[in-house]
Amino acid sequence: MTDGLAPGDWVRNPQAPEWGLGQVQSVIGERVTANFENAGKRLVNAAVVTLTRVELPAPAHDDSY
């Protein structure tokens, strides 16, 4: 299930934690393509694997310049 995943979202695959953090590239039906830091681009069948959305902290604002 894609649970509202959209391109740009950050995800993890709980069934393959060694893949690391991934960024969703596309969502077409139950097919999610994501680029994972340790596994590269992967096509995931969301009907079989539930990807976990990850909220990344906002970058710190630097006023030093």
Residue-wise pLDDT tens digits, 10-21: 999 999 999 999
Cβ atoms within 10 Å of 19's Cβ, excluding its own:
18
Q: pTM here?
A: 0.84
* pLDDT at 65 (0 to 100): 64
- pLDDT (mean) for 41-47: 97
Residue 62's contacts (CB-CB under 8 Å, 6 or more residues apart) are none
Residue 63 has pLDDT above 80, yes or no: no
Q: Which amino acid is at 55?
A: E
For 26-41, the pLDDT digits (tens) are 999 999 999 999 999 9
Outline where DSSP puts E strands in the chain. Answer: 10-12, 22-28, 31-36, 40-45, 52-54
